[in-house]
Structure 1
Amino acid sequence: MPNRLHTVEPPYSQETEALLSNYPKLDGYLLKLFRVFANSTRFLRKGVLDLLDQESPLPMRQRELVILRTCANNDCEYEWGVHVAGFAKHVRLTEDQINATRLGGPGAPCWNAEERTLLLAVDELCSSGRMSPKTQDQFQSLFTAEQQLEIFALCGNYHTVSFVANAAEIDCEPFGAKFQSALDKDN
Structure 2
Amino acid sequence: MDATPARIAPAMPPFPPDIQRPIDLIMPPGVPPLVLFTTLARDPRLFGKFFAASLLDRGHLTLRQRELVIHRTTALCGSEYEWGVHVRGFAAKAGLDAAQLASTVHGTATDACWSDEDRVLIRLCDALHRNCDVDDTLWAELSARFSEPACIELLMLAGFYRTVAYLTNGLRLPLETMAARFPAAA
Given the two structures, how large is their TM-score scaled by the length of structure 2?
A: 0.89
Q: CA deviation at 1:170?
A: 1.2
Alignment of 1:1-187 (within 5 A): 4-12=7-15, 14=16, 17-23=17-23, 24-28=26-30, 29-48=32-51, 49-54=53-58, 56-182=59-185, 185=186
**CA distance 1:164–1:20, change in 2 (3 Å):** farther
Shift of 1:120: 0.1
1:7-60 deviation digits (Å, cap 9, x = unpaired): 222244x3xx42232122233311111011113211111135121112x11000
Distance of 1:6 and 1:58 partners within structure 2: 35
% identical equivalent positions: 33
Distance of 2:134 and 2:71 partners within structure 1? 19
User: Which stretch shows the higher mean deviation, 70-79 or 124-133?
Assistant: 124-133
C-alpha distance in 2 between matches for 1:102 and 1:8: 31
SS in 2 for 1:22: helix
Shift in Å at residue 171 of structure 1?
A: 1.5
Q: Which runs of 4+ in 1 moved over 3 A?
A: none
Alignment RMSD: 1.4
Gap runs ≥5 in structure 2: 1-6
Deviation larger for 95-104 or 41-50 = 41-50
Mapped to 2, the partners of 1:20 and 1:105 lie a distance apart of: 39
Query: How far apart are the structure 2 equivalents of 1:20 and 1:33?
Result: 14
Tell me the TM-score normalised to structure 1 length. Answer: 0.88
Work out whether residues 5 and 39 of structure 1, in 8 Å CA contact, stay in contact via their aligned partners in 2. no
**RCO greater where, 1 or 2, for CA within 8 Å and sep 6 or more?**
2
Count of residue pairs the alignment pairs up: 176
Deviations 1:139-174 (A, max 9, x none): 111111010111111111111111111111111111
| Superimposed CA distance per residue, residues 93-145 of structure 1 (whole angstroms, 9 cap, x where no aligned partner) | 11100100111011111001111011101110122110122212111111110
Amino acid at match of 2:33: L
The separation in 2 between residues aligned to 1:90 and 1:81, in whole angstroms, is 15
Whole-angstrom CA distance in 1 between matches of 2:155 and 2:20:
26
Cα distance in structure 2, aligned partners of 1:20 and 1:167: 24
